Amino acid sequence: MRARRIQEEPAFVLHSYDWSESSLILEVFTRHHGRVALVAKGAKKPTSNFRPVLLPLQPLRLGYTVSQEVRDEIHPLKGAEWVGGHVMPTGDALLAGLYLNELLLRLLARDDPHAELFDLYAGVVRVLAGAHGEALEPVLRAFELLLLRALGLLPALDADSATLAALRPQARYALVPEGGLRPAQTGDRATLAGDAWCALQQALEAPAGYPAVLRACVGVAAELKPLLRQLLQYHCGSPVLRTRQLMMDLQSL
Protein backbone atom coordinates (compact mmCIF):
# COMPACT_ATOMS: atom_id res chain seq x y z
CA MET A 1 0.00 0.00 0.00
CA ARG A 2 1.53 3.28 -1.12
CA ALA A 3 1.81 6.10 1.39
CA ARG A 4 2.65 9.79 1.14
CA ARG A 5 5.17 11.14 3.62
CA ILE A 6 4.53 14.54 5.17
CA GLN A 7 7.79 16.04 6.41
CA GLU A 8 8.83 19.09 8.42
CA GLU A 9 5.20 20.16 8.84
CA PRO A 10 4.70 23.14 11.21
CA ALA A 11 2.20 22.05 13.86
CA PHE A 12 0.86 22.41 17.39
CA VAL A 13 -0.63 19.68 19.57
CA LEU A 14 -4.21 20.63 20.45
CA HIS A 15 -5.07 17.58 22.53
CA SER A 16 -3.86 14.06 23.28
CA TYR A 17 -5.47 10.99 24.80
CA ASP A 18 -4.50 7.40 25.53
CA TRP A 19 -4.68 4.91 22.70
CA SER A 20 -3.04 1.98 24.47
CA GLU A 21 -0.78 1.39 27.43
CA SER A 22 2.14 2.93 25.58
CA SER A 23 0.69 5.06 22.76
CA LEU A 24 -1.23 8.32 22.28
CA ILE A 25 -3.72 9.72 19.82
CA LEU A 26 -2.89 13.33 19.00
CA GLU A 27 -5.13 16.02 17.59
CA VAL A 28 -2.75 18.47 15.92
CA PHE A 29 -3.20 21.73 14.04
CA THR A 30 -0.89 21.86 11.02
CA ARG A 31 -0.18 24.81 8.78
CA HIS A 32 -0.71 23.15 5.40
CA HIS A 33 -3.16 20.34 6.22
CA GLY A 34 -5.38 21.76 8.95
CA ARG A 35 -6.50 19.62 11.89
CA VAL A 36 -5.07 16.12 11.69
CA ALA A 37 -5.27 13.05 13.96
CA LEU A 38 -2.05 11.13 14.53
CA VAL A 39 -1.07 8.06 16.49
CA ALA A 40 2.21 8.36 18.39
CA LYS A 41 3.20 4.75 19.05
CA GLY A 42 5.22 4.22 22.19
CA ALA A 43 4.99 7.90 23.14
CA LYS A 44 4.15 7.08 26.78
CA LYS A 45 7.26 4.99 27.31
CA PRO A 46 9.91 6.65 29.50
CA THR A 47 12.50 6.12 26.77
CA SER A 48 10.41 7.57 23.93
CA ASN A 49 11.84 10.53 22.04
CA PHE A 50 8.28 11.76 21.59
CA ARG A 51 7.56 12.01 25.31
CA PRO A 52 9.24 15.38 26.08
CA VAL A 53 8.26 16.96 22.74
CA LEU A 54 4.53 16.38 22.26
CA LEU A 55 3.30 19.18 24.50
CA PRO A 56 0.51 21.69 23.86
CA LEU A 57 1.26 25.34 23.03
CA GLN A 58 4.73 24.49 21.74
CA PRO A 59 5.75 24.96 18.07
CA LEU A 60 6.70 21.66 16.45
CA ARG A 61 7.71 20.21 13.11
CA LEU A 62 6.13 16.83 12.48
CA GLY A 63 6.60 13.98 10.07
CA TYR A 64 3.82 11.47 9.38
CA THR A 65 2.53 9.22 6.62
CA VAL A 66 -0.80 9.37 4.81
CA SER A 67 -2.10 6.37 2.90
CA GLN A 68 -2.73 7.04 -0.78
CA GLU A 69 -5.22 4.22 -1.18
CA VAL A 70 -7.23 4.25 2.03
CA ARG A 71 -8.49 7.45 3.64
CA ASP A 72 -7.50 6.58 7.20
CA GLU A 73 -8.54 9.24 9.65
CA ILE A 74 -5.61 8.59 12.00
CA HIS A 75 -2.10 8.69 10.56
CA PRO A 76 1.11 7.27 12.08
CA LEU A 77 3.49 9.86 13.49
CA LYS A 78 7.07 9.29 12.30
CA GLY A 79 8.95 12.23 13.75
CA ALA A 80 8.53 15.27 15.99
CA GLU A 81 10.92 18.13 16.67
CA TRP A 82 10.48 21.09 19.01
CA VAL A 83 11.11 24.33 17.13
CA GLY A 84 11.62 26.48 20.24
CA GLY A 85 11.15 30.23 20.41
CA HIS A 86 9.17 30.73 23.60
CA VAL A 87 8.54 29.14 26.96
CA MET A 88 5.39 27.29 27.99
CA PRO A 89 2.65 29.66 29.25
CA THR A 90 1.80 29.23 32.92
CA GLY A 91 -1.11 29.99 35.25
CA ASP A 92 -4.03 31.83 33.69
CA ALA A 93 -2.12 32.17 30.41
CA LEU A 94 -1.84 28.36 30.19
CA LEU A 95 -5.58 28.02 30.79
CA ALA A 96 -6.22 30.65 28.11
CA GLY A 97 -4.08 28.69 25.65
CA LEU A 98 -5.94 25.46 26.38
CA TYR A 99 -9.19 27.36 25.81
CA LEU A 100 -7.97 28.36 22.33
CA ASN A 101 -7.03 24.73 21.66
CA GLU A 102 -10.52 23.59 22.60
CA LEU A 103 -12.08 26.17 20.29
CA LEU A 104 -9.99 24.87 17.39
CA LEU A 105 -10.87 21.27 18.21
CA ARG A 106 -14.58 22.01 18.28
CA LEU A 107 -14.76 24.35 15.28
CA LEU A 108 -12.20 23.09 12.74
CA ALA A 109 -13.06 20.25 10.41
CA ARG A 110 -10.43 17.60 9.77
CA ASP A 111 -8.07 18.10 6.80
CA ASP A 112 -9.30 21.65 6.11
CA PRO A 113 -6.22 23.89 5.77
CA HIS A 114 -6.23 27.38 7.32
CA ALA A 115 -2.68 28.67 6.91
CA GLU A 116 -3.49 32.25 7.95
CA LEU A 117 -5.36 31.02 11.01
CA PHE A 118 -2.40 28.80 11.89
CA ASP A 119 -0.04 31.79 11.70
CA LEU A 120 -2.45 33.83 13.84
CA TYR A 121 -2.64 31.06 16.44
CA ALA A 122 1.16 30.70 16.51
CA GLY A 123 1.51 34.44 17.12
CA VAL A 124 -1.09 34.47 19.89
CA VAL A 125 0.59 31.53 21.63
CA ARG A 126 3.84 33.51 21.68
CA VAL A 127 2.00 36.44 23.24
CA LEU A 128 0.42 34.19 25.88
CA ALA A 129 3.87 33.12 27.07
CA GLY A 130 4.34 36.61 28.50
CA ALA A 131 0.79 37.76 29.29
CA HIS A 132 -1.23 37.37 32.47
CA GLY A 133 -4.30 38.76 34.21
CA GLU A 134 -6.30 41.50 32.52
CA ALA A 135 -3.79 41.69 29.66
CA LEU A 136 -5.13 38.34 28.43
CA GLU A 137 -8.66 39.59 27.76
CA PRO A 138 -8.06 41.65 24.57
CA VAL A 139 -5.68 38.94 23.32
CA LEU A 140 -8.44 36.33 23.57
CA ARG A 141 -11.17 38.60 22.19
CA ALA A 142 -9.08 39.46 19.13
CA PHE A 143 -8.39 35.78 18.43
CA GLU A 144 -12.08 34.89 18.85
CA LEU A 145 -13.13 37.55 16.36
CA LEU A 146 -10.57 36.50 13.76
CA LEU A 147 -11.35 32.80 14.26
CA LEU A 148 -15.07 33.39 13.71
CA ARG A 149 -14.36 35.46 10.62
CA ALA A 150 -11.94 32.89 9.18
CA LEU A 151 -14.63 30.20 9.47
CA GLY A 152 -17.37 32.40 8.00
CA LEU A 153 -19.29 32.57 11.28
CA LEU A 154 -19.03 36.31 11.97
CA PRO A 155 -21.58 38.74 10.50
CA ALA A 156 -20.62 42.22 9.33
CA LEU A 157 -20.18 44.33 12.45
CA ASP A 158 -21.02 47.71 10.93
CA ALA A 159 -24.65 47.08 9.95
CA ASP A 160 -27.91 45.74 11.36
CA SER A 161 -27.95 42.16 10.07
CA ALA A 162 -31.70 42.15 9.39
CA THR A 163 -32.07 45.51 7.65
CA LEU A 164 -28.46 46.16 6.52
CA ALA A 165 -28.86 49.67 7.92
CA ALA A 166 -25.72 51.37 9.20
CA LEU A 167 -25.32 51.28 12.96
CA ARG A 168 -26.06 54.41 14.96
CA PRO A 169 -22.89 55.35 16.87
CA GLN A 170 -24.42 55.77 20.33
CA ALA A 171 -27.13 53.10 20.06
CA ARG A 172 -26.57 49.70 21.67
CA TYR A 173 -26.57 46.46 19.68
CA ALA A 174 -26.59 42.78 20.65
CA LEU A 175 -24.88 39.96 18.75
CA VAL A 176 -27.19 36.95 18.68
CA PRO A 177 -26.24 33.55 17.19
CA GLU A 178 -29.14 33.17 14.79
CA GLY A 179 -29.74 36.82 13.99
CA GLY A 180 -26.40 38.58 13.85
CA LEU A 181 -26.31 42.19 15.02
CA ARG A 182 -29.62 43.73 16.09
CA PRO A 183 -30.71 46.74 18.17
CA ALA A 184 -30.64 46.09 21.90
CA GLN A 185 -33.89 44.97 23.48
CA THR A 186 -35.15 45.02 27.04
CA GLY A 187 -33.62 42.07 28.83
CA ASP A 188 -30.42 41.89 26.78
CA ARG A 189 -27.61 41.29 29.24
CA ALA A 190 -24.75 42.05 26.85
CA THR A 191 -24.64 44.82 24.25
CA LEU A 192 -22.07 47.10 22.66
CA ALA A 193 -22.32 50.61 21.26
CA GLY A 194 -22.61 51.03 17.50
CA ASP A 195 -19.38 53.00 17.18
CA ALA A 196 -17.49 50.22 19.01
CA TRP A 197 -18.89 47.58 16.66
CA CYS A 198 -17.88 49.71 13.66
CA ALA A 199 -14.37 50.16 15.05
CA LEU A 200 -14.05 46.39 15.33
CA GLN A 201 -15.21 45.91 11.74
CA GLN A 202 -12.73 48.51 10.55
CA ALA A 203 -9.94 46.74 12.43
CA LEU A 204 -10.91 43.38 10.92
CA GLU A 205 -10.52 44.90 7.46
CA ALA A 206 -7.22 46.64 8.22
CA PRO A 207 -4.01 45.40 6.54
CA ALA A 208 -2.35 45.19 9.97
CA GLY A 209 -4.55 42.21 10.82
CA TYR A 210 -4.26 40.94 14.38
CA PRO A 211 -2.50 44.00 15.86
CA ALA A 212 -5.29 46.26 14.61
CA VAL A 213 -8.00 43.98 16.02
CA LEU A 214 -6.12 43.70 19.31
CA ARG A 215 -5.99 47.50 19.65
CA ALA A 216 -9.71 47.75 18.89
CA CYS A 217 -10.48 45.17 21.60
CA VAL A 218 -8.50 46.83 24.38
CA GLY A 219 -11.22 49.21 25.53
CA VAL A 220 -14.20 46.91 25.01
CA ALA A 221 -12.87 43.44 25.95
CA ALA A 222 -15.09 43.08 29.02
CA GLU A 223 -18.28 44.04 27.15
CA LEU A 224 -17.33 41.93 24.14
CA LYS A 225 -16.58 38.77 26.13
CA PRO A 226 -20.15 37.53 26.81
CA LEU A 227 -21.25 38.44 23.28
CA LEU A 228 -18.53 36.39 21.61
CA ARG A 229 -18.73 33.53 24.10
CA GLN A 230 -22.45 33.13 23.36
CA LEU A 231 -21.79 33.00 19.62
CA LEU A 232 -18.87 30.59 20.00
CA GLN A 233 -20.79 28.24 22.28
CA TYR A 234 -23.67 28.19 19.79
CA HIS A 235 -21.37 27.03 16.99
CA CYS A 236 -19.44 24.63 19.23
CA GLY A 237 -22.68 22.99 20.37
CA SER A 238 -23.10 21.03 23.59
CA PRO A 239 -21.60 20.49 26.09
CA VAL A 240 -20.22 23.73 27.50
CA LEU A 241 -16.54 24.20 26.69
CA ARG A 242 -14.54 22.43 29.40
CA THR A 243 -11.98 25.19 29.73
CA ARG A 244 -14.71 27.80 30.00
CA GLN A 245 -16.40 25.82 32.77
CA LEU A 246 -13.06 25.46 34.55
CA MET A 247 -12.50 29.22 34.34
CA MET A 248 -15.91 29.88 35.84
CA ASP A 249 -15.30 27.32 38.62
CA LEU A 250 -11.98 28.93 39.50
CA GLN A 251 -13.50 32.41 39.58
CA SER A 252 -16.16 31.21 42.00
CA LEU A 253 -13.66 29.87 44.54
pLDDT digits (tens, 9 = 90+) for 54-92: 999 999 999 999 976 656 689 999 999 999 877 888 888
* Residue-wise pLDDT tens digits, 24-62: 999 999 999 999 999 999 998 988 889 889 999 999 999
State the sign of the Cα–Cα–Cα–Cα dihedral 117, 149, 99, 24. negative
Residues 51 and 162 in one domain: no
- Do 66 and 121 share a domain, yes or no? no
Beta bridge partners of 61: 10, 81
Q: Which pLDDT belongs to residue 253?
A: 32
pTM here is 0.91
Last residue of a domain, one of 48, 82, 116: 82
Contact of 203 with 74, CB cutoff 8 Å: no
Q: Enumerate residues 6+ apart whose C-beta is below 8 A from 231.
A: 148, 153, 154, 175, 177
Report the Cα 164 to chain-centroid distance in Å.
29
Contact (Cβ atoms closer than 8 angstroms) between residue 137 and residue 228: no
CB neighbours (10 Å) of residue 145?
A: 24
Instruction: Quote the mean pLDDT of the chain.
Output: 90
Q: What percent of the chain has pLDDT over 90?
A: 73
Q: How many domains does the chain have?
A: 2
Host domain of residue 191: 91-251
Query: How high is the pLDDT of residue 252?
Result: 42
Burial (0-12, 13-18, 19+ Cβ within 10 Å), 146: buried
Please tell me whether residues 135 and 73 are part of one structural domain.
no
Is the CB of residue 73 less than 8 Å from the CB of residue 37? yes
